Amino acid sequence: MERLAKKVALVTGGSRGIGAAIVKRLAADGANVAFTYTKSSEKAQALVNQFHQYGKNILAIQADSSNPQAIFNAIETVVNKFGQLDILVNNAGIYIGRPFEEHTLEDFEQIMAVNVRALYAAALKAVKHLPEGGRIINIGSNMADNAVSAQTTLYTMSKSALTGFTRGLARDLGPKGITVNVVQPGPIDTDMNPATTELADFLRSRMALQNYGTGDDIAGLVAFLASNEGKYITGTAITIDGGLNA
C-alpha cells in the first residue's frame, strides 16, 4: 500500500546513510522524493537510477546545507518540479569530534550552520509551501539527552537545540495543521558510524538491546510520522536508540 501517494517529500542529506534509507522508504511508500547532497554525486546518482527503473520520481539536488541560499533554492526547485511540497525531512548533519580544548570558534560556526541554522532556514522556506497536513521531521540524536562519551560537546549542543526548535515550531504551525517532530537516533550502522569500531563495542555494552540499528529502522519511524497515522503527533522528540538512553 502506497500510503504517501501523491505526496512530495524533500530529504536533506539524502545520498547516503540514514538519509538514503529515508529517501528509499518514502519513495517505496508512494511519495515523489527529492533529496539534497553536498559531495557524494556518484552515490546520489546511483540512488536516483535505482528508483527510475521502477518509474519513481526521484530528484537529486546538489546543495551545501551550510549555505542558507542553497537550501532556499533547493526547496524552490522541488516546488517547481513537482508543484508542491508536503514533507520536509531535515536530515543533513555533521560531527566534529576532538578534545574540547582543541576546538575553535570556526568549529562552532561550522557545526551550528549545518546542524541548526540549516533546519531553521529549510523550515522558514518550506512553510510558504506546506499545506494543511504537512510534515516537518527533524533528525536529531539520542545524544541530545545523553552525552554518552567524551569529544561530543559541540555535537550534543547542536542536537539539543533541535528539541527546543521542534517544540516551538510545533506551536507556531499547529494552527495551520502542520506537524513538527524530531527523531533522535542512537547508534545506527552507517559508513560514518560503523558497528565494528572500539567505540561501537562500548555503546553496545550500554544498550538494552546491545546491537546497532539500521537506517531502515529510522526510515520506518519517519515514514510513520509522515503518514496519516502520525497526524496527531507533534512537538515531540522520539528516541530510537536500542535502549541506550534507558
Contact 144, 159 (CB under 8 A): yes
**What's the CA gap between 195 and 22, in Å, rounded?**
20
Domain, as residue range, for 49: 8-238
**What's the CA gap between 171 and 182, in Å, rounded?**
14
Is position 3 within any domain? no
Q: What percent of the chain has pLDDT over 70?
A: 99
Cell of 70: 542553497
CATH number for the domain that contains residue 198: 3.40.50.720
Catalytic residue of the set 37, 155, 212, 232: 155
**What's the CA gap between 198 and 138, in Å, rounded?**
29
Is position 243 within any domain? no
Question: What's the pLDDT band for 56 if we cut at 50, 70, 90?
Answer: confident
| pLDDT tens per residue, range 186-217 | 999 998 888 998 889 999 999 999 999 999 99
- Record the pTM: 0.96
Instruction: Name the average pLDDT for the chain.
Output: 95
| pLDDT tens per residue, range 90-117 | 999 999 999 999 999 999 999 999 999 9
Q: Which residues contact 238 (CB under 8 A, 6 or more apart)?
A: 181, 182, 183, 184, 221, 225
- Catalytic, 155? Answer yes
Residue 167 clears pLDDT 80, i.e. is over it: yes
Q: What's the number of domains the chain is made of?
A: 1
Is position 188 within any domain? yes
Is position 246 within any domain? no
Model pLDDT, residue 199: 86
Is position 245 within any domain? no
